[in-house]
Amino acid sequence: MTLWIDVSVKKLQLKLYDASVLLKTYPIAVGKVLTPTPTGNYIIINKELNPGGPFGALWMGLSKPHYGIHGTNDPSSIGKKVSQGCIRMHNEDVLELSSIVPTSTNVYIHK
């Protein structure tokens, strides 16, 4: 399997692919105007279950320091541009995604 993640800041979607095959699409929240989600190619470097605070059920850190894909304690924020730059997911979605992708998974973030 060649798993990778495609994040569309504009569409507020995270897609999971195996090579060129789309496996799953998730709704997300992204950074607001003053704290935009950084675009580029990154990898998942770590995972932390129940990180506390606003990060919901799980944190997956990216190779861009201080940024990650995580759950949320505010599910109404999903589908909006409201974060400090991280990618927010529903807790059940981030748990599912984390159970599928290993650390070192590529994450491509674009407009």
DSSP state, residue 66: T
CA–CA gap between residue 56 and residue 106 (Å, rounded): 22
For the CA atoms of 69, 17, 3, 58, the dihedral, rounded to the nearest 10 degrees, stands at 20
- Name every residue whose Cβ is closer than 8 Å to that of residue 34 and which is 6 or more positions away in sequence: none
Residue 70 annotated in active site: yes
CA separation for the pair 95, 86 (Å, rounded)? 16
User: Is 86 considered catalytic here?
Assistant: yes
* Active-site position among 66, 86, 90, 110: 86
List active site positions.
70, 86
